[in-house]
Chain A
Amino acid sequence: MFVLCKHSKKLKDLPGNLKIKQNSLSIGIIVASDYQHQKVFDKTIIRKRVEIKMTLLSKEQLINFYRKMNRIRAFENEAIELAKMNLTRAAIHTYNGQEAIAVGVCAHLKEGDYITSTHRGHGHCIAKGADLERMFAELMGRKTGYCKGKGGSMHIADLSIGMLGANGIVGGGIPIATGAAFALKYKQTDNVVVCFFGDGASNQGSFHEALNLASVKKLPVIFLCENNNWAISMNIGKSVNIENISERAAAYGIKGLTVDGNDIAQVYREFGNCLEEVRQGTGPVLLEMKTYRLSGHYFGDNENYRSKEEVISRRQECPITRLENLLIQEYGVLPDELKAIASEEKAMVLEASNKAKLAPEPQAEDLWNDLFAQDFENITWQPFVKS
């Protein structure tokens, strides 16, 4: 039920003795460009390992994931409502369809771990524990927002929860994540940085420079590529000439792995395995999670680059629906219980949004605040006496 194959083999090319069950959880494409793993390539061992890890996911954990995924979906849907009311400005890039990734990844992180995010960053913020009201306030440019209304949707940060900031420049956060990982190593912690970016960013030069540097310095960073199939209007099939972004890991001498990013159990398990290694100081990993952007690039996108049929068919793989099916079929959860959870989350999101709507706007004088830190660090200079 679990497939690991070398490089870019497609599912149909796999040996016949491997059974592939489609359209359910924990099944899908796993492609490894990890040459270390390929050396010990053994289907039996891999399958055993997977099955053992799978038993670790309890019903409570999965329900907790379901709750958070619904929270993100409800947040994004409400953000669109705010956009329709002209309460937000410029683009809102929603995370719809990718929720399993942020939730499954952030569930593993501990205090002192950091993430960097992208223009499509609301899901990462929420999964890392950001305050919904402050997020909404920021989307609406209010003074009580995370960035006091100076950032907006694309620039939410909360260092107190380990969220180093969303970034409006595609690929801009990758070198920063590398720098943060250097700081964690320099301070001799066992903490890590998870660097979220998309398939589009993987074609930026910053991706190459940062992965290479992180590799040679053996930095504790997981480069997490959310391959959602579309870089604005450009399909992944046209923007890269390889089957999997993770194959690029070989160029940096690091581990690369592709997993089904719409399968929360697989996301959680495979990320957990990578994290364990990275915490031990083995250096960075390039972990690709295949997913699908169910919404347009931003709210208001005419989506003339893809067919409605394609989106409808990919909706079958929606990570929330798949988790629902798993919980109902394998864990005996009643559909009504799940509906209740989704309603609770939606209500919580709406409450946060309504509160944020009442928040004050910044004053024009605030324009000048926050540009520079006014203080200088208190360092007593010690002359260096050369021996």
Chain B
Amino acid sequence: MRKISMREAINEALHIALNSSPEVFTAGEDIAVYGGQLRCSYGLLENFGAERVFDTPISESAIVGLGVGSAMLNLRPIMELSYIDFLGTCFDQILNQAAKLRYMYGGMVNLPLVIRTQCGAGLGNGAQHSQSLEAILGHIPGIRVLIPSNAYDAKGLLLRAVRDNNPVVFIEHKALYKTKCHVPEEPYECDYTCDIKRTGKDITIVTYSAMVNQALKAAEVLEKEGVEAEVIDIRSIAPFEEETIINSVRKTGHAVVAHEACRKAGFGGEIAATIQEKAFTALKKPVLRVAAPDVPVPFAPILEDAFLPNSEKILAAVKTCLQ
């Protein structure tokens, strides 16, 4: 069983994608010669050449626009936005162009565009390089938003995204790049569905991205205390597969939702609302949210630790819920 990191898995998927379709190209800031600010695109330039793997100026609007325009003419661009925080500098091209063109033009055009980007705090990058902004994207009809929690899913979801004929934003958490798990060498795909990471009968913990590992850690502690927690990794913000979550809550009667993004209007609110709409009668207690406080991501370690949700905070919420 080969274990590789999420960074290596993404690099492998990019190699497979470029190797499999001449329509695939990749571009972004520092991705070619330097190998990527995210260090995921090393080797691509050497293996596929400067026509298909190239650096762009620091111009996020032009980067996403290059993807939108070339996708309209049937290329399959994989554009890299070094940090999700840079949404601010290219949002029109995502919000009003990539997400709208197909619908606005009556289904006339496909936009097979992938935007890879990086989210997350924990490494001291400060307020403008550490955010979790998936809810902003999830709010926009017309785009897919994928957010893997491990190397296996990252490879499988990225390959699925490249075959998707719709715009996909693929969000990689920076704290997960070095985490390793079993990843087959051959190509495979993952569905845009929830993945039950651990089964249990007492409480459902719904989470994604870096919080999946924290939830699993909390579940181990709970197991020792005789509580069986079911941990669900949603993997995809849009589309949002509800059935797995609803079935689980109907079984457990309790639910905690955990994410690293700020609490207010975070995607956890959407998950909690869906649970109460569709499994209200099964609920024995209110759905609780574990999320970051509504402040920017701070720099100093002690402050960033206080900001970040973690397994202890999830554990505390579970205990409150089960009281």
**What residues make up the interface of A, taking CB atoms closer than 8 Å to B?**
114, 116, 145-151, 155, 157-159, 164-165, 167-169, 172, 174-184, 186-187, 193, 205-206, 209-210, 212-213, 216, 369-373, 375-384, 386
Contact = CB atoms under 8 A, between A and B. Distances in A.
Contacts of A210: 59, 61-62, 65
A372 B57 contact: no
B70 A172 contact: no
B19 A384 contact: yes
Contacts of B107: 148, 369-370, 373
A157 B103 CA distance: 11
Contact of B166 (A151, A187, A193, A373): A373
A183 B69 contact: yes
Given A169-B92, A384-B15, A150 B70 contact: no
A165 B101 contact: yes
B62 A380 contact: no
A186 B69 contact: no
B185 interface: yes
Contacts of B57: 209, 212-213, 216
A114 to B, nearest CB: 8
B66 A179 contact: yes
A300 to B, nearest CB: 23
Given A146-B106, A150-B104, A175 B159 contact: no
Contacts of A168: 96
Given A172-B97, A213-B66, A164 B20 contact: no
Contacts of A179: 65-72, 77
Taking each of A165, A168, A381, which has the highest tally of chain B beta carbons within 10 Å of its own beta carbon? A381
A381 B74 CA distance: 18
Contacts of A193: 69
Contact of B61 (A145, A146, A206, A216): A206
B247 interface: no
A200 to B, nearest CB: 15
A117 B55 CA distance: 28
A380 B189 CA distance: 12
A175 B187 contact: no
B25 interface: yes
A70 B73 CA distance: 32
A61 B286 CA distance: 75
Given A147-B105, A376-B165, A381-B20, 17 more contacts: A149-B106, A157-B109, A159-B109, A165-B101, A176-B93, A178-B69, A186-B51, A212-B62, A213-B59, A370-B107, A371-B103, A372-B102, A377-B76, A379-B21, A381-B159, A382-B16, A384-B19
Contacts of B141: 371
B58 to A, nearest CB: 9
Given A146-B106, A212-B62, A370-B103, A172 B159 contact: no
Contacts of A376: 160, 163-165
18 contacts: A147-B105, A151-B105, A151-B106, A159-B72, A167-B97, A168-B96, A172-B92, A175-B65, A175-B66, A176-B69, A182-B66, A369-B107, A371-B102, A379-B163, A383-B187, A384-B16, A384-B19, A386-B47
**Which interface residue of A114, A158, A178, A216 has the most chain B CB atoms within 10 A?**
A178
A323 B11 CA distance: 60
A60 B299 CA distance: 71
Given A375-B165, A381-B16, A370 B185 contact: no
Nearest to A151: B104
A49 B267 CA distance: 63
Contacts of B96: 168-169, 172
Interface of B: 12, 15-21, 25, 43, 47, 51, 56-57, 59-77, 92-93, 96-97, 101-110, 112, 141-142, 159-160, 162-166, 185-187
A150 B103 contact: yes
B109 A176 contact: no
Contacts, number: 181
Contact of B16 (A149, A206, A212, A383): A383
B110 A373 contact: yes
Given A165-B105, A383-B185, A383-B186, A186 B92 contact: no
Contacts of A372: 102, 142, 166
A210 B66 CA distance: 8
A377 B186 CA distance: 19
Contact of A159 (B63, B104, B108): B108
A193 B69 CA distance: 11
B104 A147 contact: yes
B103 A206 contact: no
A314 to B, nearest CB: 32
A145 B106 CA distance: 9
Contacts of B108: 146-147, 157-159
Ranked nearest first, the 9 interchain pairs of A and B with the lowest CB-CB distance are: A175-B65, A179-B69, A370-B107, A381-B187, A147-B106, A183-B73, A373-B165, A209-B62, A148-B106
A336 to B, nearest CB: 42
Nearest to B188: A381
A364 to B, nearest CB: 15
A226 B102 CA distance: 27
Contacts of B105: 146-147, 150-151, 155, 157, 165
A179 B65 CA distance: 6
Nearest to B102: A370
Contacts of B186: 383
Residue among A149, A193, A373 having the largest count of chain B Cβ atoms under 10 Å: A373
A376 B21 CA distance: 14
Nearest to A158: B108
A255 B64 CA distance: 25
B70 A182 contact: yes
B72 A205 contact: no
Contacts of B15: 384, 386
A379 B19 CA distance: 11
Contacts of A209: 57, 59-62, 65
B19 A176 contact: no
B70 A186 contact: yes
A183 B92 contact: no
B61 to A, nearest CB: 5
B65 A176 contact: yes
